Amino acid sequence: FVAGLIGSGGYIFKAYNIDNEYRSAKGRDLRQVKWEKTFDKNRKDPLPKIRSVAVDVMFNPKERTASVSGSYEIENTNAEPLEQVFVSMVTRHKENIKKLELAGAVRVTKGENMQEIEDFNYRLFRFEPPLAPGARTRMEFETVFHAPEIADNSSIERNGTFVDSSAVLPQFGIRDLRLRNKDKRRKNDLPELEKRADRTDMDARQRHFISSSSDYVNFKAKVCTDVGQIPIAPGKMLAETSENGKTCRSYQTIRPILNFFSFLSANFEVKRDVWKNPNGRDVPLAIYFHKAHDYNVDLMLDAMKGSLDTFTTTFGPYPYNQVRIMEFPYRGFAQSFAGTIPFSERIGFVMQSGDPTDNKKVDLATYVTMHEIGHQWFAHQIVPADTKGFNVLSEGLTENAAMTAYEAKLGWQKARRVLEQRSIQAYLTGRTVDREDEPPLALAEGQQYLDYNKASWVFWGLKQYMGGDKMQNAIRGFLQEYGYKGPPYPTSIQLIDALRAAAPDELQGLITDYWERIVFWDMKIDGDVDVTPNASGGFTVKFTAKVDKKIASEETGKEISVTEIDGEELNEWVEVGFYDKDPKETWGDEWVKLEKVHITQLETELSFDLDERPNFVLLDPRRLLIERKVDDNVKKLPKGKLASAE
Ligand SMILES: [Zn+2]
Quote ipTM for the complex: 0.98
Identify whether 231 is part of a domain: yes
Q: pLDDT at position 644, please?
A: 44
Cα of 341 to ligand 1 centre, how many Å? 11
CATH number assigned to the domain comprising residue 67: 2.60.40.1730
Q: Report the C-alpha gap between 396 and 195 in whole angstroms.
A: 20
Cβ proximity of 487 and 431 under 8 Å: no
Q: For residues 462 and 355, state if they share a domain.
A: yes
Cα of 340 to ligand 1 centre, how many Å? 14
Identify whether 579 is part of a domain: yes
Q: pLDDT at position 180, please?
A: 87
Identify whether 586 is part of a domain: yes
Cα of 365 to ligand 1 centre, how many Å? 14
Cα of 92 to ligand 1 centre, how many Å? 30
Please say which residue of 439, 470, 504 terminates a domain: 504
Cα of 372 to ligand 1 centre, how many Å? 6
Arithmetic mean of pLDDT, 614-640: 95
- Residue 27 binned pLDDT confidence (cut-offs 50, 70, 90): confident
Cα of 378 to ligand 1 centre, how many Å? 9
Q: Report the C-alpha gap between 459 and 514 in whole angstroms.
A: 9
Q: How many helices (H) and strands (E) does the chain have?
A: 17, 27
Please say which residue of 252, 267, 282 terminates a domain: 267
Cα of 392 to ligand 1 centre, how many Å? 10
Arithmetic mean of pLDDT, 351-365: 91
Q: Exposed, middle or buried, 356 (CB in 10 Å: 0-12/13-18/19+)?
A: middle
Identify whether 162 is part of a domain: yes
Q: Name the percent of the chain in helix, strand, coil, to the closest 5.
A: 30, 30, 40
Arithmetic mean of pLDDT, 180-192: 91
Arithmetic mean of pLDDT, 1-26: 42
Q: pLDDT at position 4, please?
A: 27
On the question of pLDDT at 12 being above 90, the answer is: no
Arithmetic mean of pLDDT, 267-291: 96
Cα of 622 to ligand 1 centre, how many Å? 25
Cα of 178 to ligand 1 centre, how many Å? 24
Identify whether 513 is part of a domain: no
Cα of 191 to ligand 1 centre, how many Å? 32
Q: For residues 18 and 62, state if they share a domain.
A: no
Cα of 262 to ligand 1 centre, how many Å? 15
Cα of 403 to ligand 1 centre, how many Å? 13
Q: Which residue has the higher pLDDT, 224 or 436?
A: 224
Q: For residues 473 and 566, state if they share a domain.
A: no
Cα of 395 to ligand 1 centre, how many Å? 5
Q: Report the C-alpha gap between 75 and 459 in whole angstroms.
A: 39
Cα of 336 to ligand 1 centre, how many Å? 7
Q: For residues 371 and 465, state if they share a domain.
A: yes
On the question of pLDDT at 13 being above 60, the answer is: no
On the question of pLDDT at 21 being above 80, the answer is: no
Structural domain including 12 reads 1-42+176-210+301-504
Cα of 379 to ligand 1 centre, how many Å? 9
Cβ proximity of 618 and 582 under 8 Å: no
- Least confidently predicted of 177-191, 398-412, 542-556, 557-571: 177-191
Cα of 59 to ligand 1 centre, how many Å? 28
Dihedral, CA atoms, 205, 209, 212, 215, nearest 10 degrees?
-80
On the question of pLDDT at 645 being above 80, the answer is: no
Identify whether 277 is part of a domain: no
- Residue 638 binned pLDDT confidence (cut-offs 50, 70, 90): confident
Cα of 78 to ligand 1 centre, how many Å? 31
Cα of 445 to ligand 1 centre, how many Å? 15
Q: Report the C-alpha gap between 633 and 615 in whole angstroms.
A: 14
Cα of 342 to ligand 1 centre, how many Å? 12
What is the percent of the chain where pLDDT is above 90? Answer: 86
On the question of pLDDT at 175 being above 70, the answer is: yes
Q: For residues 249 and 350, state if they share a domain.
A: no
Residue 484, SS3 per DSSP: coil
Q: Cα separations (Å) of 564 from 567, 602, 628?
A: 9, 11, 21
Q: Which residue has the higher pLDDT, 151 or 619?
A: 619
CATH number assigned to the domain comprising residue 395: 1.10.390.10
The total number of structural domains that make up the chain: 3
Cα of 320 to ligand 1 centre, how many Å? 18
Q: For residues 189 and 261, state if they share a domain.
A: no
On the question of pLDDT at 623 being above 60, the answer is: yes
Cα of 567 to ligand 1 centre, how many Å? 39
- Residue 7 binned pLDDT confidence (cut-offs 50, 70, 90): very low
Q: In residues, how long is the chain?
A: 646
Cα of 19 to ligand 1 centre, how many Å? 21
Q: How many CB atoms lie within 10 A of CB 147?
A: 14
- Residue 640 binned pLDDT confidence (cut-offs 50, 70, 90): low
Q: For residues 116 and 201, state if they share a domain.
A: no
Cα of 360 to ligand 1 centre, how many Å? 24
Cα of 150 to ligand 1 centre, how many Å? 34
Q: For residues 600 and 626, state if they share a domain.
A: yes
Cβ proximity of 628 and 552 under 8 Å: no
Residue 478, SS3 per DSSP: helix
On the question of pLDDT at 642 being above 90, the answer is: no
What is the percent of the chain where pLDDT is above 70? Answer: 95
Over the stretch 45-74, which tens digit does the pLDDT of each residue have?
A: 999 999 999 999 999 999 999 999 999 999
Q: Report the C-alpha gap between 155 and 163 in whole angstroms.
A: 7
Q: For residues 261 and 204, state if they share a domain.
A: no
Sheet containing 634-636: order of strands: 593-599, 572-579, 616-619, 634-636
Q: Report the C-alpha gap between 283 and 520 in whole angstroms.
A: 44
Q: pLDDT at position 9, please?
A: 35
Q: Report the C-alpha gap between 118 and 359 in whole angstroms.
A: 56
Q: For residues 227 and 308, state if they share a domain.
A: no
Secondary structure in 3-state letters for 560-584: EEHHHCCCCCCCEEEEEEEECCCHH
Identify whether 229 is part of a domain: yes
Cα of 208 to ligand 1 centre, how many Å? 16
Phi and psi of 78, rounded to 5°? Answer: -80, 160
Q: For residues 422 and 329, state if they share a domain.
A: yes
Cα of 327 to ligand 1 centre, how many Å? 17
Cα of 398 to ligand 1 centre, how many Å? 7
Please say which residue of 504, 534, 555 terminates a domain: 504
Cα of 449 to ligand 1 centre, how many Å? 13
Average confidence score pLDDT of the chain? 93
On the question of pLDDT at 23 being above 70, the answer is: no
Cα of 10 to ligand 1 centre, how many Å? 9
Q: pLDDT at position 332, please?
A: 82
Q: pLDDT at position 641, please?
A: 54
Secondary structure in 3-state letters for 210-223: CCCCEEEEEEEEEE
Cα of 11 to ligand 1 centre, how many Å? 6
Identify whether 56 is part of a domain: yes
Q: For residues 326 and 350, state if they share a domain.
A: yes
Q: pLDDT at position 149, please?
A: 85
Cα of 371 to ligand 1 centre, how many Å? 6
Cα of 359 to ligand 1 centre, how many Å? 24
* H helices present in 14-154, as ranges: 25-39, 114-119
- Residue 20 binned pLDDT confidence (cut-offs 50, 70, 90): very low
